[in-house]
Amino acid sequence: MQARSWCLGALVFGALLVAASLVIPWLLGPRTVWTEEKAQQHAQAAAKLHSLALRRGQAEAARQAGKTPALPPHSHAHHDDEPPPTDDQVADARTQFDRTKTELQQAKDSGRTTAMVLRGVGVLCALCGGGGYLLLRRTQ
């Protein structure tokens, strides 16, 4: 009788773990990790990288054509007299963008790993508990 109680307990515990694994992503989801400030930083890093790459590409194209670089249609006035960005400036912008992109991906994935582990352990407990209960019930 005591062994059947343990099996039923394992079955119920497994079901609770599976239920918890379904709730965890909502509790530890991206909105709890990815703040508005981080979203703005990511957008600024992307815009800076885009701007530097565009300026660099236009300067390179103009140099190859032997002309002065044309301004992009959405150019800002403060870029008019600036020389094309250096490799270091583009690399720094790329590094900043990659860092914020990695943080965004981690925010998206937060809670998923924990939920998957809980779900796996829960299913294992439920299977062992249910199987043990059925085996003990047949033998008695």
pLDDT recorded at residue 34: 77
Q: Where are the domains of the chain?
A: 1-28+111-140, 36-110
Q: Does residue 137 surpass a pLDDT of 50? A: yes
Q: What is the pTM of this model?
A: 0.56
Confidence of residue 68 (pLDDT cuts 50, 70, 90): low
- Cβ atoms of residues 115 and 22 within 8 Å: yes
* Percent of the chain's residues with pLDDT above 90: 34
pLDDT recorded at residue 73: 53
First to last CA, the chain: 9
The torsion angles phi and psi of 91, rounded to 5 degrees, stand at -65, -40
Q: Is 96 helix (H, G, I), strand (E, B) or coil?
A: helix
What is the identity of the amino acid at 58? Answer: Q
Tokens of 85: 């960005």
Confidence of residue 77 (pLDDT cuts 50, 70, 90): very low
What is the identity of the amino acid at 57? Answer: G
Instruction: Report the pLDDT averaged over residues 123-130.
Output: 93
Tens of pLDDT, residues 34-56? 778 888 999 999 999 999 888 88
